[in-house]
Every structure is written in structure tokens, then in C-alpha cells.
């Protein structure tokens, strides 16, 4: 949760009553305050009151979830949004992430997975509001002032481009970054995704204990990459 004085308020937007009941029971048990909405109109009406996070189903009966997300972002540019999706294709997920969603969870999902994504999204927002000069996650430590990367207590020598890539992932730690977002930030919008794959591979060779089974830089198949936050 984001504060000790009052429970974090989560708006759950889903048209399935069983899913809403399940989420309400699970989230309330974790100490969150839950508000429910079953369609676009109810969701946007509830958003006018202060909420700390939105859990949004893409398959709403009265609107496409991506359009709802676009309207949410027009109302509030900073509230964390986690997408629930039963879609098999990555197109909707990528579109939602490019519009500013913080994460997505594919139905059916386990509550432990969703809770972990909720905690990561809250941590990401706190980090954006006041970034610390030293980043730590498991055996990875990065001094963002001196640009020193340490893995398992040994310094890892990165090229400037490798460091820029790691630095971008750290700035959004816990959040899925799409291929297009990373390419635009580091190479420009017309860059080939192959550049990104080469540098991700090189970076993993230097910071992962077993590069073939990465624990820090995770691949979101068909979507992009996520820097894992070790709790």
C-alpha cells in the first residue's frame, strides 16, 4: 500500500460479478479499499473521486478497454493501471502499455501474481516521485550518480549504450516496457528491434548469473521487457 494513514483505494473495472467478488475479497484481505465498476460510465464516474490504482478489464460490454484506458489517462496521467486481459494476442496488451498502462495480467490469473504486480506498480510510482541515487534488486546494485553497476559484489563493466538501456529499465523497474518505447527512447522510432535484442543479450551476459535463465531482465513475449524487482 502507498501509505500507513489510510488504505490504498483500488478501482476494479470488470463486467463479470464473480471476478469482482473474487478481487474484492482478496484485495480487502490484503488491507486495500475496493471500489467496483462494471462498465465504462461507472468507471469514469468513480475515477472522479480519488483512487490510488485501477485494475481494468479490457473486455467491457459498452466499450473497448483500450479506449477506456485512453480516457482514464486523459483524466489522470499518473494513477497506476493494471490491465486484466483474456485476449490471446499481444496487440491489445501492447496498445494498452503504449497508452500508459503499468502492467497486465492475463486471465485466468492467480491472486498472488496480481498482488505482486500491484505492489510493483505502487513501488514504481513511488520511485518516479522520488528516485533514489542507489538502485538495488537482489544481487544487482546500480549507483545512478557514479554510473557504477555491481553484480554479486563485483563491478560489471558496461558500454555507454548498455548502461543507458539498464538505466531506462531501472527508471521503470517492475513495469513492462514495449519494444517501441525502448527503441524510441534509445535509438529513435525508426530503429530495428534487432538492435534492442542484441543489447539485451549483451547486458544479460554481464548482469545475469545464468544469461539463458535471466532473473533481472525478463522477456514479455511479443511485448517487450521488464526489469524484475526482487522483494
> Are 209 and 217 a contacting pair, CB within 8 Å?
no
At residue 201, the pLDDT reads 97
Where exactly are the structural domains of the chain? 9-129, 134-227
Nearest-angstrom CA–CA distance, 14 and 22 = 11
What are 136-155's pLDDT values in tens digits? 999 999 998 788 999 999 99
Q: For domain 134-227, is the CATH number 1.10.10.10? A: yes
178, with CB counted inside 10 A (0-12, 13-18, 19+), is: buried
Q: Rounded to an integer, what distance in angstroms lies between the CA atom of residue 213 and that of residue 33?
A: 37
pLDDT above 90 (res 28): yes
Given a cut of 80, whether residue 52 has pLDDT beyond it is yes
- The predicted model scores a pTM of 0.71
For the stretch 143-199, pLDDT in tens is 987 889 999 999 999 998 999 999 999 988 888 999 999 999 998 878 899 989 999
Q: Give the SS3 label for residue 173.
A: coil
The mean per-residue pLDDT over the stretch 73-95 comes to 82
Q: Please confirm whether the linkage preceding 108 is cis (ω < 30° from 0).
A: yes
Q: Which residue has the higher pLDDT, 128 or 56?
A: 56
What is 9-129's CATH topology?
Rossmann fold (3.40.50)
23 has pLDDT over 70: yes
State phi, psi for 140 to the nearest 5 degrees: -100, 130
Query: What is the reported pLDDT for 5?
Result: 46
pLDDT above 90 for 92: no
Q: Alpha helices, DSSP H only, in the chain?
A: 17-29, 40-47, 65-75, 91-98, 111-129, 160-171, 179-186, 193-207
Query: In this prediction, what percent of the chain has a pLDDT beyond 70?
Result: 93
Contacts 24+ apart (CB under 8 A), 145-152: 149/206, 149/207, 151/206, 151/207, 152/209
pLDDT classification of 1: cutoffs 50, 70, 90:
very low
C-beta of residue 1 within 8 angstroms of C-beta of residue 8: yes
User: What pLDDT was estimated at residue 6?
Assistant: 65
Interatomic CA distance for residues 6 and 230, integer angstroms: 26
Answer whether residue 123 shows pLDDT above 80.
no
Of these ranges, 3-12, 129-138, 193-202, the one predicted with the greatest mean pLDDT is: 193-202
Amino acid at each position: 500500500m502507498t501509505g500507513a494513514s489510510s488504505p490504498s483505494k483500488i478501482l476494479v473495472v470488470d463486467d463479470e460479478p464473480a471476478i469482482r467478488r473474487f478481487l474484492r475479497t482478496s484485495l480487502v484481505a490484503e488491507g486495500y479499499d475496493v471500489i467496483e465498476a462494471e462498465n465504462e460510465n461507472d468507471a469514469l464516474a468513480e475515477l472522479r473521486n480519488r483512487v490510488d490504482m485501477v485494475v481494468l478489464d479490457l473486455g467491457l460490454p459498452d466499450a473497448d478497454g483500450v479506449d477506456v484506458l485512453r480516457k482514464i489517462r486523459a483524466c489522470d496521467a499518473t494513477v497506476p493501471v493494471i490491465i486484466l486481459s483474456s485476449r490471446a494476442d499481444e496487440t491489445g496488451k501492447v496498445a494498452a502499455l503504449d497508452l500508459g498502462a503499468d502492467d497486465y495480467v492475463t486471465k485466468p490469473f492467480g491472486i498472488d501474481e496480481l498482488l505482486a504486480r500491484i505492489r510493483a506498480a505502487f513501488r514504481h510510482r513511488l520511485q518516479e516521485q522520488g528516485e533514489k541515487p542507489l538502485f538495488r534488486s537482489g544481487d544487482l546494485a546500480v549507483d545512478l550518480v557514479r554510473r557504477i553497476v555491481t553484480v554479486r559484489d563485483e563491478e560489471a563493466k558496461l558500454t555507454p549504450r548498455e548502461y543507458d538501456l539498464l538505466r531506462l529499465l531501472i527508471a521503470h523497474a517492475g513495469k513492462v516496457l514495449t519494444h517501441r518505447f525502448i527503441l524510441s527512447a534509445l535509438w529513435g522510432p525508426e530503429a530495428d528491434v534487432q538492435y534492442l535484442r542484441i543489447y539485451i543479450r549483451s547486458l544479460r551476459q554481464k548482469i545475469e548469473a545464468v544469461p539463458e535463465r535471466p532473473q533481472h531482465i525478463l522477456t514479455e513475449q511479443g511485448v517487450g521487457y521488464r526489469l524484475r524487482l526482487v522483494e
